[in-house]
Each structure stands twice: as C-alpha cells, then as structure tokens.
Amino acid sequence: MSENTDDKLPIRMLHDRVLVRSESPEGERRSGGGILIPATAAVGRRLGWAVVVAVGQNVRTVEPGDRVLFDPEDRAEVEVRGVAYVLMRERDLHAVAADRFEGSEDSTGLYL
C-alpha cells in the first residue's frame, strides 16, 4: 500500500472489539532460511501477526498501530474500501508487540 488508508476508515469500533489488518498475505510464504513453503503444505496450528487499526471504547491493552498475535482460524473478516480486515474481541489476542513497551517493567526482553 502506498498510502495509509487506515487513518480515514469510516468505522467506530464498539465495546471490546478490535479491527486488525493482517501482515502476512494468504498463500505461499518463506522460511527463515529462504525455503518456499506452498500454501497447500500441512502445518500445525499457526498464529499470525497483524496491525491494530481501530479499537472499541472498552479495549484496555492495545492501541492502533500495535502489532498483535492472533489465531487466524478464530476470525471474522470484513472488507472496507477494498481492503480486507479481521474483526475480533480483545480476549482473542494472544500477545502485543509495541514500541511503548521497550524498557518498561512489563516487557519480557524478548524480540518478537
């Protein structure tokens, strides 16, 4: 995407809902060593990373712009202005990676 369309989304999230944009496209992917893994390859339960686009008023742990870890199998997709987003509840998120955690007591010190 050359321009950031997330800033002007005509959506206001309600309650504990979180709207995210998946970072990894569906289909083929590459391993850390550069090996191409086809979309048809059987893999175990694999979590995915996404960027938070909007949050409801009762969401307390994430903010727009944070990277979150979620289960792609427990998701509801929605398309807004031709861009696919994933809608979920805050409790369905497994982890948050954000610059604001750097150096804080809550940080694990691990690189996610």
Dump pLDDT digits (tens) for 30-76. Answer: 666 777 766 666 566 678 889 999 999 999 889 999 999 988 877 78
* Contacts of residue 70, Cβ cutoff 8 Å, sequence gap at least 6: 20, 47, 48, 50, 86, 88, 92, 93, 94
Whole-number pLDDT of residue 53:
92
Terminal Cα-to-Cα distance of the chain (whole angstroms) = 24
Top-confidence range, 3-7, 16-20, 75-79, 101-105: 16-20
Whole-number pLDDT of residue 77:
87
The predicted-structure confidence for 77-103, as pLDDT tens digits, reads as follows 888 888 889 999 999 998 888 776 665
Whole-number pLDDT of residue 52:
92
Residue 104 pLDDT class (50, 70, 90 cuts): low
pTM over 0.85: no
Residue appearing with tokens 């750097």: 102
Alpha-carbon gap, residue 111 to 4, rounded angstroms: 26
Whole-number pLDDT of residue 3:
42
